Amino acid sequence: MTKLGKTPLYDVHLAAGARMVPFAGFEMPVSYTGLIEEHTAVRERVGLFDASHMGEFIVSGPDTWAYLDRVVTNDCSKLAADGVLYTVMCRENGTVVDDLLVAKIADDRAMVVVNASNIDKDFAYMKALLRGKVELENASDAWALIAVQGPKAHETVKATPMLSTIRAEVDSVLYYRWRSFVVDGERFVVSRTGYTGERGFEIFVPPARARELWGQLMAAGAPFGVVPAGLGARDTLRFEACLCLYGHELDDEATPLEAGLNWLVKLNKPDFVGRAALAAEKERGSRKTLAGFELEGRNIARQGYAVMRGESVVGRVTSGTFAPTLKKSLCLAYVDADSIDAELAIQVRTNTVPARRAPIPFYPSRARE
């Protein structure tokens, strides 16, 4: 194991009493005061997340969009000048390399935000696909990332002095759009995106300014009850909203169609990597499908637990927990297509616990509100 990286906010987390864990090569805060408390604060008020471990690539050059449209499954040509796109990139066989955000910075420039655990894999993969007049740069160390999420995220951002340049615009930034501005020669990007199912922003900030911004956001959010929130709450929040997490719902063996991400796969756009395999899968139907389940009782289904149909294993749990907001034991699982409507149970260690299909998302997102 190589030495763990630290985000620019590492000392801030320690000072706040965070419990630190290794995650994707970084020492990250998993919780501060308690996972459920942090989760609830984001649902009801506002929370701050350090997401500086995420990777940022810059794609530039005249062929930027032709290149990206060949690499990812979603349609970049429809992107507004200030637009952000959620997408996956696949292999020729249709399996997912990563899920990512593509932000249009200019007509010849994009920022691509990838999972921390996949930075090296993604960069190598995208590099191998380079074609035409386009350059790819790993700018992950050039950006810290702070997510401000919750019903009071807008008020918090508006009350933050360092972000005063966009104060008047904050309420008009649409979902999946971004604003950028320069302060003291340094660029900030405020994106109306997130990973919680709540309204909010992700703020890309120069690493040297991250601590100052974090401190200002905490102070600005204090009247609204802001809390720092760790990876634990980030996971339970995204789980309730059924947002995929790479390494759980998505991996090197799953396709976006199996994961229920059909809306990300634009078979009608010009050719892209994985198109033929995904078109064929759409034609014949997926072998397995991601579904939500509620367990009887309070046992929790964890990643890797078997989904049982009688004595047969017909699937695997990808994520599960006792959902803090919904107060139910829920899980997401891949299930063989021909068993999806059968009576199923989850093998929780020695107990076979009956599981009922639960509509997904478990928690309807309020991010667009």
Partner 1 sequence: MDFKNVRFTKDHEWVRLDGGDEVTVGITDFASGELGDIVYVELPKVGAGVSASQSMGTIEAVKTVADLFAPVSGVVSAVNGALEQGPDLVNKDPFGDGWFVRVKMTKRAEFDALMDHAAYQEMIGK
Which spans of this chain sit near partner 1 (rule: CB under 8 A)? 19, 30-31, 34-36, 232, 235-236, 298-300, 302, 321-322, 324, 329, 349
Q: Whose CA is closest to 146, among 8, 241, 5?
A: 8
Question: Nearest distance from residue 305's CB to partner 1, in Å?
Answer: 10
> What is the length of the chain?
369
State in Å, rounded, how far the first CA of the chain is from the last one: 43
Question: Nearest distance from residue 18's CB to partner 1, in Å?
Answer: 12
Nearer CB in complex with partner 1: 201/305: 305
Cα–Cα distance measured from residue 168 to residue 172, given in angstroms and rounded to the nearest whole number: 8
Nearer CB in complex with partner 1: 37/108: 37
Phi, psi at residue 262, to the nearest 5°? -55, -35
Q: Decide: helix, strand or coil at residue 307.
A: strand
Q: Whose CA is closest to 12, among 53, 38, 56, 49?
A: 49
Q: Is the N-terminal amide bond of 228 cis, ω within 30° of 0? A: no
Nearer CB in complex with partner 1: 65/239: 239
Question: Nearest distance from residue 92's CB to partner 1, in Å?
Answer: 36
Question: Nearest distance from residue 139's CB to partner 1, in Å?
Answer: 32
Question: Nearest distance from residue 363's CB to partner 1, in Å?
Answer: 15
Nearer CB in complex with partner 1: 30/100: 30
Question: Nearest distance from residue 298's CB to partner 1, in Å?
Answer: 4
Nearer CB in complex with partner 1: 127/298: 298
Nearer CB in complex with partner 1: 2/350: 350
Check: CB of residue 222 under 8 Å from CB of residue 94. Answer: no
Q: Whose CA is closest to 190, among 198, 116, 172?
A: 172
Cα–Cα distance measured from residue 152 to residue 173, given in angstroms and rounded to the nearest whole number: 15
